[in-house]
Structure 1
Amino acid sequence: MRVLIATTAVIVTLLSSVAVNAQSITRTREPQVIDSYTAYIGRDDLYNSSGARLTKPWQIVRQDRANYHAYGIQDGDDEGDAFFADAANRQQLEEMLANGSMSRDAQSMILRGNCWVNVQVYGRGDRGSFIEVEVWR
């Protein structure tokens, strides 16, 4: 009987330890910041590679990343990022911004250029869901 009670006590202790550890493991379903960068939106970012003036803020943000990663055109203190180094991710930028946020003032400033942007990429793993863009002069 003592062996049964002792064995039961050990099993209960082990099970409660497993339960405590299982409760401390959390898997978030919410997107997290997976990348971010700060860049200057200069004159070169306002035009596509054919020389046409871009008319949408997301186009300019995308062109800035294409200039940085694909064409080697960088404004002085532009930061790199791993996410938009992939051309397929740059193609998703419009949809990611539609799912994210950018104020009307930020949109206007980007369209005029000569401003700084901070872009935060949210997602899970290496898959982006949306971006948030802040702007200042």
Structure 2
Amino acid sequence: MIYKNTRLLILTFVLAGCAKPEKPTSIVGTWELVSATSIEKGKSESTFDPKRKMIKIINDTHFAFLNHAIGAASDSAAAPFSAGGGKYTLDGNVYTEHLDYFTDKQWEGNTFEFTVHFLNDTLIQRGVEKVEKLNVDHVIIEKYIRVNQ
């Protein structure tokens, strides 16, 4: 009996070792923004607006974000909908977004590199947003919580 169990255990380890290595999937999922900070010229300020809701959806190759006002339809004219997305790469904890689509076309075609960390169901990303033609150059720190499905 012990011999049979040992063979089964060895077979399990051999099969697990033959599995194709996969791209890290910890970032894959749907994330809701819960905190956002911008640091420009040494000054830190919260850019999180609790009257808006933003989610980021990440699959194996692409990301997309959707942002809109919370509340009645009559409130939405004052705070328009925005969305964007594109391809991304993840190398260790370096997450790089290639923004191919965005509501404001002047942001399109830019690449943004972030360092990402995970703490339980929280994704924290920190990096520089720089768009020369818009005179944008600041550090952003965003915290997202995984949306349970």
Give TM-score, length-normalised by structure 1: 0.28
More strand by share: 2
Give TM-score, length-normalised by structure 2: 0.27
More helix by share: 1
Look at both structures and tell me which one has the larger radius of gyration over its CA atoms: 1
